Chain A
Amino acid sequence: MNFELKEGIFVLDEMRNVSIRIGRVIEEEEEEWKEPVGPTPKPHILDLRKWDRKLISRYEPIYAPMQDFCNLCTMGPCELSHNKEGACGIDLKTQKARLVTIACSIGASTHTAHARHLVHYLVEKFGRDYPLDLGGDINIEAPNIRLVFGIRPKTVGDLEQVLNYVEQEIVKVLHSTHTGQEEDYADYESKAMHVGMLDHVAMEVADIAQVVAFKYPLGEEDTPLVDIGFGVLNTDKPVILVIGHNVLPARNIDDYLREHGLEDEVEIAGLCCTAHDTTRYDPKAKIVGTLSYELRAIRSGLPDVVVTDEQCIRADTLRECSKLGIPVIASSETAARGLEDRTYDNPDVIVNDLVSGKVKGVLIKDPDKIGEVAVRVAIEMRKKKGKKLPFMSDEELKAEIKKCTGCMNCVFACPHNLRVDTAMEAAKNGDFSKFKEIEAVCIACGRCEQSCPRKIKIVDVIMKASYDSLVAKTGKMRVGRGPIRDTEIRNVGQPIVMGTIPGIIAPIGCPNYPKAREELVEILEEFLKRRFIVVTSGCHAMDLGMVKDEEGKTLYEKYPGAFDAGCITNVGSCVANSHISGAAIKVANIFAMRPLRANYAEIADYILNRVGAVGLAWGPYSQKAACIATGFNRLGVPAVVGPHATKYRRAFIGKYWKKEDWWVYDIKSKQKIYVEPCPDALLVAAETKEEAIVQLARLCIRPADTFMGRQIKLTHYIELSKKYLGKLPDDWHLYVRTEADLPLKMKDELLKILEEEHGWKIDWSKKKILEGPIRPYDAGFNPTLVEEVFEKYAKK
């Protein structure tokens, strides 16, 4: 019987009660993509558990409980202190791992729902067959999707299939967090890694969708420089402030402005990742700043209308805007803000209701309609209110300061324990310098005001007292470029794996820094000067554009935008983080020719052992950041995090002295051998920028470094340790396999130390190490932690 394969349900003649359902037909895929399907297509919750266990065994989780009780079910609350078990039998460690899994599931759900919204919109607008054309320089269009799901997505419809899978898996992981499930913390950590991996897939779906549909930059290294900073707004014009992470409403506002010739009449400015993506769509748009500027931007009274979408938007946005008579348009079902759904109302009526103040805000789910309403409201509000007045007069400032009794409740409420009390005291005597210092570190969360018994508007006082420096924080950010081009990977793949490009530093994440954002620039410039690759995204990418040097230049203006040594490239918003993981995956595939398709463990193992990439989340605060980092960790990429990240409760830190933890299979010698402990952590917090710099350098070291690469990496590590820690690093000798690994300028000095302090045997006539290293150097060394990979290649 001949049978044409197509989607649908078929009943076979003469076979009663028998039907065949054919799902998505993948014949084209099979025909065009010769690469065989790897071992883990669409991996389920346990399919990569073996790999996770290897990581968790070496990088043992350290738990630092925030709470020592659980109140998730009604048998509790249960006291779990000192690792006691609760009524359900769960102990404190496992409960913390469970909470980490929940947090990561929230993070993955966020990006997945965002991706689903974008894809749904695109399917409605353009149809499922809309092609995913990323241009000729990006042949590996979706490395995460290829690696995990096992297809090469060609259309928007393909992305729907990927999201179906991701959503199913997230639900399964969430299911596992119900009371009475796992009893081993390692199993929860494996699930956290699972959703972390899925998160990168979902982010890739979201970013590819918007890149192709909205014609964002396609990996160009010289994307435009856009204005960023609190002071960039032209307040002579009506101002629309868009806040959040989903570009749809902002894009349609921008379209409306252009279609009606109003682009020079109205300012559109963004906060957080919506700002990123708006500038990817239209470089004329401006960026006010990151999450930490939300309350300040609203309190300043600068916006004429505020449009919110989703994620990282303050939960008091409507209340704060209403106090100043700023209308709010909510656009997302995930953040409806208690507002009436006016999606199907006449725009004239909605505009009138908002401008007249009849309603404080509205919910409009249709991005097209928001485009019209937001613009008209902004113009009408400006006509109604006239020129903007300062948000606080000098007299009001003095009156507020006068109220302070120095009780210090604000200091104890502040996440950084900033000494607002002493700044108030100094300001009473006309000295506002302490407030300027506070403003640089303050994240404007407003907790201080909640605790003040005198109801002092502390956020406003800080802002007013330091307004000059606040508005002076303007600069240029290079627009997010999206994926890293395959050609760039071809250029840098070999030097990265050999170690001659000493590492990739990836500053990503939120603005919850321990100190001022300037520290981030200081950290990165150290590595740019040393010709590391710097690739950034999200709030970190924005903050880098707000810090200028003495000549008034930002890092984006001082260093090229390529994915190359000594360059800084901005991939874009949060969801563009997938291009950073994607770049690491592409190195394994394009340079090393490792098969990509559904081959997760092999690629992650390759990256862990060979690709010296390290994330830097200097100010993480969100569940998304926790999930992104955990996804990077599963992929073999370690991360250095700022001190606030210890509140995530869990890190992955190995123990250098445990020889038994540091082994690999060597495919060349066909033996299991002990190696140097590198990288010795997957997630670790640093307290200061100096400490972070040294950690980033040391975590770039990989077992497969060539001697030349190791020599370069050790040179940087030792130099930075001497510069910032005042001495040679404690563990440098652990990374020496041969005298050729040693920095040339210090060779004699270091050989002497190895001999005298570590008991190594040195042949001084040849300046050669005879005995001492953990293992000798072997140019053909080919490490893996995965038995299946070892068997696959060792048999060849």
Chain B
Amino acid sequence: MAESRLKGNPTKLFNVADIQVSRSAKLIDPKTVARMVKRAKHPVLVTGGHLLRDSKLVEYAAKMYEKGIPIIATGASSKPLIEKGVEPQSAVFTLHYVTQFMLDESWEGFDGKGKYDIVLYLGVEPYYLSRMLSALKHFSKITTISLESFYQPHAKFSFPNLDEESHYKMLEELISEL
């Protein structure tokens, strides 16, 4: 695992008061993420608004798509992704909608192939993502994996706190393992 530059605890909360008594996310490395995605029946990557200001994240998401992971684009991240040749399963529904849909056992997914079993997240505003991960933690059985640069405590698995360079390295490693 790439070494976290951030001093102190790699699982320090991006908002130190965002505390819950239930389990916090386990740290995960890129190889394990890749292994889990390969084993998954219906994985999906959810991208967020940070892709509008970080072209590297667009590049990494597009590469994951090329490796077979479908994308649900939120936060208007669809536009730069489409320019890279990605055809997202959905572009208009916000992360709030997507989470609500995922909480419904009867939802067949945007592609109609059944519920998603592993959901990866990249480029979402940390506090927004935190709330959505909390909803999924408490009210669903979906496996959530945060690929963000801030540790996300309410995911099932999360990257640690990372500086930009380390974050990019982790994503590159993940892509190479897919």
Contact = CB atoms under 8 A, between A and B. Distances in A.
Interface of A: 60, 62-69, 79, 81-83, 92-93, 407-408, 412-413, 415, 417, 451, 514, 643-644, 646-647, 649, 651, 653, 655, 657-658, 681, 684-688, 690-691, 694-695, 698, 721, 724-727, 729-731
A81 B20 contact: yes
Nearest to B86: A726
Most buried by A among B76, B78, B103, B106: B76
B8 to A, nearest CB: 8
9 contacts: A64-B99, A81-B22, A415-B15, A514-B125, A649-B131, A685-B95, A687-B49, A688-B52, A690-B76
Interface stretch (B32-40, B59-67, B134-142): B134-142
A93 B139 contact: yes
A727 B91 contact: yes
Nearest to B141: A82
Given A412-B16, A687-B125, A646 B96 contact: yes
Nearest to A688: B49
Contacts of A82: 22, 137-139
Nearest to A406: B7
A379 B116 CA distance: 68
Contact of A62 (B81, B92, B100): B100
Given A68-B22, A691-B49, A691-B76, A63 B125 contact: no
A687 B99 contact: no
Interface residues of B, number: 55
B138 A408 contact: no
Contacts of A68: 20-22, 134, 138
Nearest to B16: A412
A727 B71 CA distance: 15
A67 B79 contact: no
B131 A655 contact: no
Nearest to B93: A730
Contacts of A655: 100-101, 104, 107
Contact of B99 (A62, A408, A690, A727): A62
Contacts of B108: 657
B78 A725 contact: yes
Decide if the interface of chain A is mainly helix, strand, loop or mixed: mixed
A688 B100 contact: no
A79 B21 contact: yes
Interface in B7-62: 7, 12-16, 18-22, 48-49, 52
Contacts of B14: 412, 417
B159 interface: no
Contacts of B139: 63, 82-83, 93
Given A408-B6, A726-B82, 8 more contacts: A81-B138, A643-B128, A646-B96, A681-B96, A687-B94, A725-B92, A726-B91, A727-B82
Contacts of B124: 687
A79 B110 CA distance: 34
B102 to A, nearest CB: 10
Nearest to A649: B131
B90 interface: yes
Given A68-B21, A647-B131, A687 B74 contact: yes
Given A81-B21, A643-B128, A688-B52, A698 B92 contact: yes
Give the 8 A-B residue pairs with the shortest CB-CB distance, closest first. Answer: A81-B22, A726-B79, A690-B76, A687-B75, A64-B131, A688-B49, A646-B131, A643-B128
A655 B106 CA distance: 11
Interface in B108-135: 108, 110, 124-128, 131-132, 134-135
B75 A691 contact: yes
Given A643-B125, A691-B76, A66 B92 contact: no
Interface of B: 6-7, 12-16, 18-22, 48-49, 52, 73-76, 78-83, 90-97, 99-101, 103-104, 106-108, 110, 124-128, 131-132, 134-135, 137-139, 150
Nearest to A724: B76
B100 A653 contact: yes
Contacts of B96: 62, 646, 651, 653, 681, 684-685
A730 B90 contact: yes
Contacts of B138: 63, 65, 68, 81-83, 92
Nearest to B76: A690
A483 to B, nearest CB: 33
Contact of A726 (B13, B83, B100, B134): B83
Contacts of A79: 21-22
A698 B19 CA distance: 35
Contacts of B79: 690, 724-726
Contacts of B127: 415, 643-644, 646-647
Contact of B100 (A60, A412, A415): A60
B19 to A, nearest CB: 7
A408 B132 CA distance: 25
Q: Which of B48, B127, B150 has the most CB of A within 10 A?
A: B127
Task: Name the residue in B73, B92, B101, B132 with the highest tally of chain A Cβ atoms < 10 Å from its Cβ.
Answer: B92
B94 A65 contact: no
A69 B21 contact: yes
B78 A726 contact: yes
Contacts of B12: 412
B11 to A, nearest CB: 12
Nearest to A81: B22
Contact of A67 (B7, B19, B78, B107): B19
Contacts of B93: 730
Nearest to A648: B131
B128 A694 contact: no
A726 B92 CA distance: 10
Contacts of B78: 725-727
B164 to A, nearest CB: 10
Contacts of B81: 726
A646 B128 contact: yes
Nearest to A62: B100
A415 B127 CA distance: 8
A745 B91 CA distance: 23
A62 B16 contact: no
Given A412-B16, A417-B126, A655-B107, A725 B91 contact: yes
A412 B22 contact: no
B125 to A, nearest CB: 5
Contacts of B131: 64, 66, 646-647, 649
Nearest to A644: B127
Contact of B13 (A412, A651, A690): A412
Nearest to B150: A417
A727 B48 CA distance: 16
Contacts of A93: 139
Nearest to B90: A730
A519 to B, nearest CB: 11
A62 B91 contact: no
Given A62-B99, A657-B107, A688-B75, A694 B20 contact: no
Nearest to A684: B96
Contact of A408 (B7, B15, B103, B134): B7
Nearest to A641: B96
Contacts of A651: 96, 100
Contacts of A649: 131
